[in-house]
Structure formats: C-alpha cells, structure tokens
C-alpha cells in the first residue's frame, strides 16, 4: 500500500520538517530557499538599471549582506543555539534596507522585496522570530521615510502602521495555517500507523490458529514455501485420534481444551527453532530445521512419551508420520510423504509414529 502522506505532500512534509528540526534543515532546503534566492538576486541586479545606484557603497554592502545570509544557511545549525536562526532573515532585511538606500529611497520600488524575509520567517521560523522581522521592517519604514527627504508626519504614520499591520497579518495567518497543516499531517501519520498496525494484525490473524496461537495451514504453507534453503529438514504430521470421541461425549469445549493441551505438550517436546502448526481440526504439523531422520524420530518419540506420561491428563491417541527432506527437495512432497506415513500409523492403532522410509516404530502404551 502506498503511503498516502507521500503523495502530493512534499511541500507539507518539508514545512513540517523545518518546524521540527529548524528552518535550515538540509532535507528540502534547496527547494525551499531557491525562490527566495531568485527574488533577492533579481532585486540586487536591478540596482544596476538606469539611472544606477545612488551609492555604490550601499549597493556593495547590500550584496555582501546577502552573501553572508546565504553562507549562514549552510552553517551546522543543529549544533548552534536555536535562537540564532533569526539572524538570517534579519540580515536579509538589512540587505533590503541597504538596497533601498542605494536605489534613492523608498520610491525606488525595491522596498517591496522586504516582504521576502517576512514570508520566509512566517513559513519556517517560530512566531517570535516573525515578530522580530516585523519589528525590523517597521524600523526600515521609519528610517526610509526620512531619507533622502523627510515625508510628512501623517504619511510616515500611515506607512509604519500599514506595514506593521500587513506584517502582523501575514505572520499570524501563516503561522495559524502551519499549525493546522501540522495537525493534519500528524493526524494522517497517526492514521497510517493505525492502518499499518491493523493490516499487520489482520495478516497475523489470517496466518494464526486462534485456538492454539500456532500458525495455521496458510501460515505453515507460507513458512515452508520460504524455508531456509541448502539445509536438510524433517516434517512431522500429527493427528489426534480421539478428538471426535471427546467432542461427542464431553462437548466441543473439552475438545478445544484437549487440542490446546496437545499443542503445549508437543511444542515442549520439540527443539528450539523448530516450527509447530495446527493445520485444522485434529491435525498438526512440525517442521524441523537442519535435521535428519534420526532427529525426526527422536522428536516423535519425545512427543509420544510426553503425551503418554502418567502425570498428563490426556486420553487421546496420537499418530505421527515422519518424512525427511534433502536440501533441494520440495517441501510439499515431503509433507505428503509424512502425511501418508501418519495414516499408516493411524491404521496400525495409533499412539505411534512411522517414517516415510522405515517400518513401524515401537508402540507406546496409552495411559488408561
């Protein structure tokens, strides 16, 4: 299943990363910073248009400040105090101020570029940093209103008030939008986590027998289809002969309890790393990893001994078939041989095992 957050949410994810890890987080930094860099470069280049800059010194200072801000973006900010990040947009604001002064004051048209550091801060910095940039913009408006010729007081007041309101509006609206976006992304990420967990639980449930918590037939088939290669193996097929009698005489609850007990006893008799599964009804199967015929027979004997032990309250007869597979043998063919051997043991009276290659093993007495 495709992750829904990864589809169409690249810019949202970049914004979330910037808030969590700082505005200069390396991931997506070029994509975030490139549009702003283009605006600043064009603004600086426009100083060369006729009639040219009023002050070449101011123009050079503006370019130097932009270069310093660009270099600062590449600093290892993860190892620096977080509060220092505001210096980058403040430096850009100062650079725009020097452009305005170089281009003959507030009427030059360059002043609108001062919105760029505010937009950047509102998108990727914290609220107090946006407030600092708004304050810097207001200071620039006050200074430029008096240079080169002082404006009327009313004009200056209007300019300062409107710039302050515009900056505050842009900053507050953007930060609120970021907050909603981050909550939406967090909710979608949580939904994806829950969906993945539900899918994993559903897959596990589809491959697990709910009564014994062992792999079911599908789980066992999936395991042997992906079994470790280049190793010999043994498959044991077990059948609980007395289950129908228990169900008929004592009820299905007693039959279920018998299956659970058989599963516990048989599992304890197996080697560590081997796999036991309930294939359905009264049938179980075991897969012994890196094992030969002797290993299979010893495990089958331990199973029968444990099931027939005097301290076990088990009265069912169990038949076991044992089949050995070489490293390159098909597991389903080995399983079929073990299944056939199990039926031979059942026809011989049960409570015994039989191998696919040898005759009947000794019969173990059933506790009466």
Residues 293-317 pLDDT 10s? 999 999 999 999 998 887 666 666 8
Higher-pLDDT residue of 230 and 364 is 230
- Residue 312 CA to residue 315 CA, distance in Å, equals 9
- Confidence grade of residue 106 (pLDDT, cut at 50, 70, 90): low
Structure confidence at residue 314 (pLDDT): 66
2-6, 50-54, 104-108, 344-348, range with greatest mean pLDDT: 344-348
Structure confidence at residue 360 (pLDDT): 41
What is the average per-residue pLDDT within 151-178?
84
Mean pLDDT of the chain: 84
Poorest-pLDDT segment among 58-62, 102-106, 302-306: 102-106
* Helix 29-46 vs helix 87-102: crossing angle, to nearest 10: 20
**Non-local CB neighbours of 256 within 8 Å, separated by 6+ positions:** 211
What is the average per-residue pLDDT within 329-355?
93
69-78, 156-165, 239-248, range with greatest mean pLDDT: 69-78
Poorest-pLDDT segment among 4-18, 73-87, 171-185: 4-18
% of the chain at pLDDT higher than 70: 86
- Residue 260 CA to residue 198 CA, distance in Å, equals 26
Structure confidence at residue 133 (pLDDT): 94
- Residue 47 CA to residue 152 CA, distance in Å, equals 27
237, 283 Cβ separation under 8 angstroms: yes
What is the average per-residue pLDDT within 33-60?
88
- Confidence grade of residue 215 (pLDDT, cut at 50, 70, 90): very high
With 50 as the cut, is the pLDDT of residue 139 above it? yes
* The model's pTM: 0.51
With 90 as the cut, is the pLDDT of residue 245 above it? no
Domain 217-355 has CATH 3.30.70.270: yes
With 90 as the cut, is the pLDDT of residue 320 above it? yes
% of the chain at pLDDT higher than 90: 43
With 70 as the cut, is the pLDDT of residue 36 above it? yes
With 50 as the cut, is the pLDDT of residue 1 above it? no
> What is the spatial order of strands in the sheet that 352-355 belongs to?
275-280, 283-289, 233-240, 318-325, 352-355
Poorest-pLDDT segment among 3-17, 126-140, 346-360: 3-17
319, 238 Cβ separation under 8 angstroms: yes
- Residue 230 CA to residue 233 CA, distance in Å, equals 10
Q: Which residue has the tokens 């041989």?
A: 337
- Which residue from 160, 122, 115, 124 is spatially nearest to 141, judged by alpha carbons? 160
Structure confidence at residue 149 (pLDDT): 65
- 3 state DSSP class of 28: coil
350, 274 Cβ separation under 8 angstroms: no
- Residue 355 CA to residue 234 CA, distance in Å, equals 10
Structure confidence at residue 157 (pLDDT): 82
Neighbours of 187 (CB within 10 A): 10
Structure confidence at residue 235 (pLDDT): 96
Summarize pLDDT for 171-198 with one digit per residue, the tens.
888 988 888 888 888 888 887 888 777 7
9-18, 54-63, 152-161, 283-292, range with greatest mean pLDDT: 283-292
- 3 state DSSP class of 286: strand
Domain definitions of the chain by residue range: 4-192, 217-355
With 80 as the cut, is the pLDDT of residue 219 above it? yes
């Amino acid at each position: 299943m495709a992750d829904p957050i990864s589809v169409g949410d690249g810019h949202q994810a970049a914004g979330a990363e910037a808030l969590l890890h700082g505005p200069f987080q390396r991931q997506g930094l070029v994509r975030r910073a490139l549009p702003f860099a283009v605006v600043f470069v064009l603004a600086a280049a426009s100083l060369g248009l006729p009639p040219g800059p009023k002050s070449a010194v101011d123009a050079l200072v503006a370019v130097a400040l932009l270069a310093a801000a660009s270099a600062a973006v590449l600093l290892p900010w993860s190892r620096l105090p977080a509060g220092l990040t505001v210096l980058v947009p403040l430096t850009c604001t100062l650079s725009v101020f020097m452009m305005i002064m170089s281009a003959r004051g507030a009427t030059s048209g360059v002043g609108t570029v001062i919105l760029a550091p505010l937009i950047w801060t509102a998108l990727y910095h914290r609220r107090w940093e946006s407030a600092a940039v708004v304050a810097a913009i207001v200071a620039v408006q006050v200074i430029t209103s008096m240079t080169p010729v002082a404006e009327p007081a009313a004009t200056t007041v209007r300019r300062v008030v409107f710039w302050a309101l515009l900056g505050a509006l842009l900053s507050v609206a953007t930060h609120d939008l970021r907050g909603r976006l981050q909550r939406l992304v967090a909710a979608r990420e949580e939904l994806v986590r829950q969906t993945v967990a539900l899918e994993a639980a559903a897959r596990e449930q589809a491959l697990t027998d709910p009564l014994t918590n062992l792999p079911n037939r599908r789980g066992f088939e999936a395991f042997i289809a992906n079994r470790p290669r280049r190793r010999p193996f043994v498959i044991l097929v077990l059948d609980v002969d007395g289950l129908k009698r228990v169900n008929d005489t004592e009820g299905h609850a007693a039959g279920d309890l018998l299956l659970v007990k058989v599963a516990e006893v048989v599992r304890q008799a197996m080697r560590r790393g081997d796999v036991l599964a309930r294939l359905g009804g009264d049938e179980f199967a075991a897969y012994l990893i890196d094992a030969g015929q002797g290993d299979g027979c010893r495990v089958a004997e331990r199973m029968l001994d444990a099931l027939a032990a005097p301290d076990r309250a088990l009265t069912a007869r169990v038949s076991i078939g044992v089949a050995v597979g070489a490293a390159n043998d098909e597991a389903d063919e080995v399983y079929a041989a073990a299944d056939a051997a199990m039926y031979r043991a059942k026809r011989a009276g049960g409570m015994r095992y039989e191998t696919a290659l040898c005759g009947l093993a000794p019969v173990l007495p059933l506790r009466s």
